[in-house]
A and B are shown apart, each in its own frame.
Chain A
Amino acid sequence: AQKVTQAQTEISVVEKEDVTLDCVYETRDTTYYLFWYKQPPSGELVFLIRRNSFDEQNEISGRYSWNFQKSTSSFNFTITASQVVDSAVYFCALSEGLAGNMLTFGGGTRLMVKP
């Protein structure tokens, strides 16, 4: 069975600090996909990134970066120079197998960025 753990339920930082959100996953499949979604205070779920299990390259998009390490079953998300607008709940999710459409979400990490 697949499982996603986000051990940090809540993180508070001051603007311009860097922050890393942890995500640890469990799966028996060799083919799987990992996702990060953002849920701002307005409530919608916004897709941020998708990685497949065959691609361990880290990815950077502006102030956002992701570190995928199969050896530790982790897919961590770092925000550099955080801003107040980054305040949201961030969810990590996992989908197993080929054409695996069912997402299992972690419990989410609430990030509060204070001015």
Chain B
Amino acid sequence: DAGVIQSPRHEVTEMGQEVTLRCKPISGHNSLFWYRQTMMRGLELLIYFNNNVPIDDSGMPEDRFSAKMPNASFSTLKIQPSEPRDSAVYFCASSDPGELYQETQYFGPGTRLLVL
């Protein structure tokens, strides 16, 4: 089975530009998560969706960040305008509804973002 797919794998952009990160979850998974990983703050949950609906976005750093999930097989994380401090690895993860109560999250390969 294909795992979580993220694109692009690497992105270099200039400050002020819009950045869009994309994620395709594992087919059949009903929860999707966006995480950010930095040296200073480690792995942080930004937002998660359940059945395409945003459930908790308390980790989204500020209004420059937005996330959407228009259907069960696609999500985007957008940063507009981007700033150098947004440089990080962004991971998408999805989880399987088939297990009682707790769902294991499976991660994509990540998008390494560098904002100059």
Contacts and interface: CB of A to CB of B under 8 A. Distances in A.
Interface of A: 31, 33, 35, 37, 43-47, 50, 52, 91, 95, 98-108
B42 A107 contact: yes
Contacts of A43: 89, 109-110, 112
16 contacts: A31-B101, A37-B107, A43-B89, A43-B109, A43-B110, A45-B91, A47-B105, A50-B104, A95-B102, A101-B50, A101-B95, A101-B103, A103-B33, A103-B105, A104-B45, A105-B43
Nearest to B107: A45
Interface in B81-103: 89, 91, 93, 95, 101-103
B110 A102 contact: no
Contacts, number: 54
Nearest to B102: A33
A104 to B, nearest CB: 8
B106 interface: yes
A43 B55 CA distance: 27
Contact of A98 (B89, B101, B110): B101
Interface in B48-107: 48, 50, 55-56, 89, 91, 93, 95, 101-107
Chief secondary structure at chain B's binding surface? strand
Contacts of A101: 31, 33, 48, 50, 55, 95, 103, 105
Given A35-B104, A99-B102, 16 more contacts: A43-B89, A43-B109, A43-B110, A44-B110, A45-B93, A45-B110, A46-B107, A47-B104, A52-B101, A101-B48, A101-B55, A101-B103, A101-B105, A102-B56, A107-B42, A108-B43
A105 B112 contact: no
Nearest to A104: B45
A100 B56 CA distance: 12
Nearest to B93: A45
A47 B102 CA distance: 14
Contacts of A100: 102
Contact of A103 (B45, B55, B101, B108): B45
A98 B48 CA distance: 16
A47 to B, nearest CB: 6
